[in-house]
């Protein structure tokens, strides 16, 4: 008789977004005249840039002719893209990463979720609290997280590293030494970044304890200040202790096209086994590569025109972030993030819970955001707004909040 994977049953329901949807639907049904503005979305809204569209058209035409047709992509990705990434994202920043160490994929979510497979089930993970839920949930599915306590909303075998205003949303070293450390900077949901000196301390910590850092840099393109590392490989010794995830989703609007990559340096060994070998084996067995057309589109992001056009898109979102930050600050809110990240993380006023503030904004301003408590217990009394919306709607939302 078939049996289900009992570990899946330990996952708490995806309460956050279904609950947001339910409350918004109920409100709209009771107030059909309301014009809701959604500032909670984590998806981009600007169209793909012309350089990407041109590359897509060209590659599509190639697929229609026998001479230029492409079937299965190479397991690790096309060399034209891997070489471009190695040069532009790493070599140009002084990081020693070769094309061979880059694994092209269909996005960072799958890679962040799947990477745990190459580690022992006994490994203990550490995550920030609040956190992007994929890191914890994928470990729950793998049976690595222990039991869920619905009262404190924590898993028994996960090390949670609280991140709040007191530590500028950058975790301190936990009391118990983890085997795997998930870090994400610029951060979703808090919008925080990590200084290079602090990231170097994490790299030193991981090396001295034999831990591996799983570094999610999906929002790297939003970094605009100096001394903020774009890659963990800017830190000395990171080749021996860190895996990095990147995505074209927020960098170039590929959320619907799907493209990302993972870097595993050849020097990274656990129990003398190079992790590169294990991930290459997994890739070869379970994955058949991102489409040729999409990899060509990804390559176009690095052309001179592509770079300029993508920069303009990011500037559009970051101008939204500036508007949100400026208006909220002028209203006396404590706001964080929004400078090197498209996320604005605010402290709820008058000690309201995250959900109380959600209802308050929905009712008084018809604006929807994301309650911070949905990302972990230390997100309670915080609230996330995103800069991915349309400019007019963002301005209108802030005007409404001002006029409450
Ligand atoms: C921190 C973080 N990592 C990864 C992803 C997923 O990226 P992708 O679209 O490449 O799967 C997201 C998307 O929201 C994210 O916020």
* Closest CA to ligand 1's atom 1: 188
Range 280-288, long-range pairs (CB < 8 A, 24+ positions): 280/75, 280/76, 280/103, 282/114, 282/117, 282/118, 283/75, 283/76, 283/103, 283/105, 284/75, 286/114, 287/75, 287/105, 288/72, 288/73
How buried is residue 403: exposed, middle or buried, by Cβ count under 10 Å (0-12/13-18/19+)?
exposed
User: Ligand 1 mean position to 64 CA, how many Å?
Assistant: 32
Domains of the chain, first to last: 6-47+305-402 (3.90.1150.10), 53-303 (3.40.640.10)
Residue among 112, 137, 184, 343 to mutate when testing ligand 1 (max atoms within 8 A of CB): 112
Torsion angle of the four alpha carbons 238, 239, 241, 243, in this order, in degrees rounded to the nearest 10: 100
pLDDT of 218 reads 98
Chain length of the chain: 404
pLDDT greater than 90 at residue 12: no
Residue 307 has pLDDT above 80, yes or no: yes
pLDDT tens readout for residues 252-271: 999 999 999 999 999 999 99
- Map residue 83 onto helix, strand or coil: helix
Q: What is the pLDDT of residue 21?
A: 93
**Residues of the chain above pLDDT 70, percent:** 100
Q: In degrees rounded to 5, what are phi and psi of residue 295?
A: -65, -35
Q: Using a 6 Å CB cutoff, which residues line ligand 1?
A: 42, 107-109, 112, 132, 184, 188, 216, 218, 247, 249, 255, 260
pLDDT in tens, 102-139: 999 999 999 999 999 999 999 999 999 999 999 999 99
Instruction: Reply yes or no on whether the pLDDT at 16 is more than 90.
Output: no
Average pLDDT, the chain: 96
**Could you tell me if 383 and 229 are in contact, meaning their C-beta atoms sit under 8 angstroms apart?**
no
> Is a pLDDT exceeding 80 seen at residue 318?
yes
272 CA from centroid of ligand 1 (Å): 31
Interatomic CA distance for residues 4 and 250, integer angstroms: 35
99 CB neighbour count, 10 Å cutoff: 18
**Model pLDDT for residues 219-248, shown as the tens digit of each residue:** 999 999 998 999 999 999 999 999 999 999
Contacts of 231 (CB under 8 A, 6+ apart): 89, 90, 93, 95, 97, 217, 220, 244
Q: Which two tokens stand for residue 35?
A: 């014009």
């Amino acid at each position: 008789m078939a049996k289900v994977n009992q570990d899946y049953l330990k996952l708490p329901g995806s309460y956050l977004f279904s609950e947001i949807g339910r409350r918004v639907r109920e409100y709209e049904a009771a107030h059909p005249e309301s014009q809701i503005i959604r500032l909670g979305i984590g998806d981009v809204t600007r169209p793909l840039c012309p350089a990407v569209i041109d590359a897509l058209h060209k590659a599509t035409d190639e697929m229609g002719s026998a001479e230029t047709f492409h079937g299965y992509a190479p397991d690790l990705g096309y060399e034209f893209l891997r070489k471009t990434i190695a040069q532009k994202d790493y070599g140009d920043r002084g990081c020693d990463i070769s094309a061979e160490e880059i694994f092209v994929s269909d996005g960072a979510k799958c890679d962040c979720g799947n990477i745990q497979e190459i580690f022992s089930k006994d490994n203990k993970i550490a995550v920030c609290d609040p956190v992007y839920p994929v890191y914890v949930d994928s470990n729950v599915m793998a049976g690595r997280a222990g039991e869920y306590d619905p009262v404190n909303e924590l898993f028994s075998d996960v090390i949670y590293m609280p991140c709040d205003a007191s530590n500028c949303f950058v975790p301190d070293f936990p009391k118990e030494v983890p085997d795997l450390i998930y870090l994400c900077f610029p951060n979703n949901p808090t919008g925080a970044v990590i200084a290079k000196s602090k990231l170097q301390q994490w790299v030193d910590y991981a090396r001295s304890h034999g831990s591996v850092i799983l570094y999610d840099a999906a929002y790297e393109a939003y970094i605009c200040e100096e001394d903020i590392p774009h890659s963990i490989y800017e830190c000395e010794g990171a080749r021996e202790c860190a895996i990095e995830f990147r995505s074209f989703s927020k960098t170039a609007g590929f959320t619907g096209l799907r493209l990302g990559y993972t870097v595993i340096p050849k020097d990274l060994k656990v129990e003398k086994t190079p992790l590169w070998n294990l991930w290459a084996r997994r890739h070869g067995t379970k994955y058949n590569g991102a489409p040729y057309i999409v990899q060509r589109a990804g390559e176009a992001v690095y052309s001179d025109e592509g770079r300029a056009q993508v920069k303009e898109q990011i500037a559009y979102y970051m101008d939204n972030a500036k508007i949100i930050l400026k208006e909220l600050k002028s209203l006396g809110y404590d706001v964080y993030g929004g400078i090197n990240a498209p996320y604005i993380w605010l402290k709820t006023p008058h000690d309201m819970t995250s959900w109380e503030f959600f209802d308050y904004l929905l009712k008084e301003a018809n604006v929807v955001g994301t309650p911070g408590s949905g990302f972990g217990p230390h997100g309670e009394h915080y609230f996330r707004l995103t800069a991915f919306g349309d400019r007019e709607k963002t301005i209108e939302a802030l005007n409404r909040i001002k006029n409450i």
